[in-house]
Structures are given as C-alpha cells and as structure tokens.
Amino acid sequence: MIAPPRGGFVGPVKRSVTIAGHSTSVSLEPVFWSALERAAVAHALPLSALVAEVDALRIAEPDPPNLASALRTFLANEPVHFGQILQSNRINVDSESQSQ
C-alpha cells in the first residue's frame, strides 16, 4: 500500500518570475519550487534565468505545453539533481513537521 507524501498533499503556489523583462505568474507545487531553486543553483543561474531558458526551449516546440508543465518536465529530466532535490526536500519537510 502506498502512503501520502511526507508533509501531505500540497496544492500549487503562484509566484511571479521575470522573463525577458516581463513578469509572468507560474503555479507550481512547493516541492517543484524547491527543486527549481536547487536546479538553478546547480546550473549556476538565477531562478529567473533558468525559467527563461526552459521557456525558450518550450516555445520552440511544435506544440508547446504551458510553462508550469515545461518546468515540471525539465525537472523530471534532471535525474541527478531531481532525486537529490526530492530527497533533500523530504528531509526539510520532515524536519519542519517534527518541529511543529
């Protein structure tokens, strides 16, 4: 039997990111925001620059998905970082849950 994620199920959180000088709202679950922030660090990029790069790749596709889907797909295809990011996030969530 499966168990719910540590920290429970959490819906998307909307944040604004600047892409090409324009503010864009993106809704992602907190685990994906954490993963994206850590991926930006791993790629030595500011978060907005990483999002802009993913966005540029996304819009070059014949049938581009929405930006949130593209970001999740990007993260899922970062196997080295994504597993570490998720594990680290689990540790952070566990620590927060235990301190409450």
Burial class (CB in 10 A: 0-12, 13-18, 19+), 2: exposed
Structure tokens at 98: 């235990």
pLDDT score, position 79: 66
pLDDT score, position 24: 95
> How far apart are the C-alpha atoms of 6 and 35, rounded to whole Å?
16
Tens-digit pLDDT profile for the chain (100 aa)?
999 988 889 999 999 999 989 999 999 999 899 999 999 998 999 999 999 999 999 999 999 999 999 999 999 988 655 566 566 655 454 444 444 4
| Phi and psi, residue 40, nearest 5° | -60, -45
Beta carbons within 10 angstroms of residue 89's beta carbon: 20
> How far apart are the C-alpha atoms of 7 and 16, rounded to whole Å?
24
Q: In the beta sheet, which residues pair with residue 14?
A: 27
> How far apart are the C-alpha atoms of 11 and 29, rounded to whole Å?
6
